[in-house]
Amino acid sequence: NAGVTQTPKFQVLKTGQSMTLQCAQDMNHNSMYWYRQDPGMGLRLIYYSASEGTTDKGEVPNGYNVSRLNKREFSLRLESAAPSQTSVYFCASSERDRAPLDGYTFGSGTRLTVV
């Protein structure tokens, strides 16, 4: 049981380049999320998908797009990377319609550096 799998683990981009962060979960969870983590800022929600076929903006969506490809997969795309997007990105999943029995399950994170 892999839980939530994120790829890649590390990435360096040049300003203006694009890339997609991949996330997949095998727990049959309905809801999936993308967070970024910056020092002293905690975890800030970028986008989420409450269920397959829906996506919504979180607290810091500018510069990002998402795709809920199917129930398992939720990708995050940076169309034109900026140094301000240097961060650690976490994907997470949870059940819907009730407080999950086990909270969020997080992926292992992607450390992104934009130079």
Partner 1 sequence: GENVEQHPSTLSVQEGDSAVIKCTYSDSASNYFPWYKQELGKRPQLIIDIRSNVGEKKDQRIAVTLNKTAKHFSLHITETQPEDSAVYFCAASRSPGGSYIPTFGRGTSLIVHP
- Residues forming contacts to partner 1 in the complex (CB under 8 A) are 31, 33, 40-45, 48, 50, 56, 58, 90, 94-100, 102-104, 106-109
- Least gap, CB of 113 to partner 1 (angstroms): 15
- Least gap, CB of 13 to partner 1 (angstroms): 21
Other beta carbons within 10 angstroms of residue 105's beta carbon come to 16
Structure tokens, 94: 């949870």
Instruction: Kindly tell me which of 17 and 105 has the beta carbon lying closer to partner 1.
Output: 105
Instruction: Kindly tell me which of 63 and 109 has the beta carbon lying closer to partner 1.
Output: 109
